[in-house]
Amino acid sequence: MPDPATPTSADHPRVITLDIDLIRPGTTQARTDFDARALDELAASIAESGVISPVVVSGDTESGYRLLAGERRWRAAQRAGLTCLPAIIRNDLSEDEAVVLGLIENLQRESLGVMDTAQGLARLCERFGLTHDSVAQRIGKSRVYVTNYLRLRQLAPPVQQLIADGALQLGHAKILAGLPAVRQIALARKSVARQLSVRALERAARREDPPPAPAPATDHGMTELETRLGEHVGNAVRIIYEPDRRRGELRISFHDLDEFDGLLERLGYRPD
């Protein structure tokens, strides 16, 4: 670890060592939940091998330093009993740029929870007035990734909490997001109680939808095909098949134009 430094205003990013007591949490952190067990595991690793990646802060020794990225490492280092922490000082960033930096770091590490990711992306859209495409470019992800996560904000608060607690996964959330709130909650609780897989939840949601037409005596494998196609394209799929006429329809559901554009992208369609 480099020798401790006491800079007053560092405008050029460089790694220094800071007294851990001078660092405070920032107000732009994307993460809202810190799992105690995971922090203990990281603390044990830090006690053994030290902090590999520096945290990112702004400020100076007189007023203290504010975390822009790396709060989880800072918390774990405190648990590990460290007194100093490697840090990069970024006094060159605006408040908006600090929000982007913190979110990008967490997304690149894939260390945020599902709902924290959704809320963080929403803050980027709202603060900068960005489209899904623009947000995707800023964070280095696909437009489909951004759209799918932003849809999760349509979930009822009790369902969001189940996802934040880890009782439901992202795949479950995608299925529930397009349903009315009452159905979301009922299906979410059923999924948790019965430990339904994503595919089982999709079948349960489909069973509770009113059928568009009388079901044939045999589905000729269409139910299974619906499930597989739905998983492939990332949207609910319904096949209406007339076996006696050997024809039918393929319907793919979407909830807004951004989701529709993402669907076309996954299907390989590129407008001229």
Judge contact between 114 and 34, C-beta under 8 A: no
Residues of the chain with CATH 3.90.1530.30: 15-93
- Catalytic positions, written as ranges: 71
Residue 6 confidence (pLDDT):
41
Residues near 51 by beta carbon (within 8 Å), at least 6 away in sequence:
73, 77, 82, 85, 86
Residue 134 confidence (pLDDT):
83
What would the DSSP string read from start to end of 215-238?
Answer: PPS--TTHHHHHHHHHHHHTS-EE
Domain boundaries 15-93, corresponding CATH code: 3.90.1530.30
Residue 107 confidence (pLDDT):
67
Residue 8 confidence (pLDDT):
40
Residue type present at position 87: A
Residue 110 confidence (pLDDT):
55
pLDDT digits (tens, 9 = 90+) for 26-48: 765 656 566 677 778 888 888 88
Exposure of 128 in the CB half-sphere (CA atoms within 13 A): 20
Q: From 207, 220, 227, select the one nearest 248 (Cα to Cα).
A: 220
Residue 28 confidence (pLDDT):
59
Task: Tell me the mean pLDDT per 10 residues along the chain, length 272.
Answer: 41 77 76 71 85 86 85 88 90 78 68 78 79 82 86 88 87 87 88 90 77 54 79 76 83 74 76 67
Residue 252 confidence (pLDDT):
85
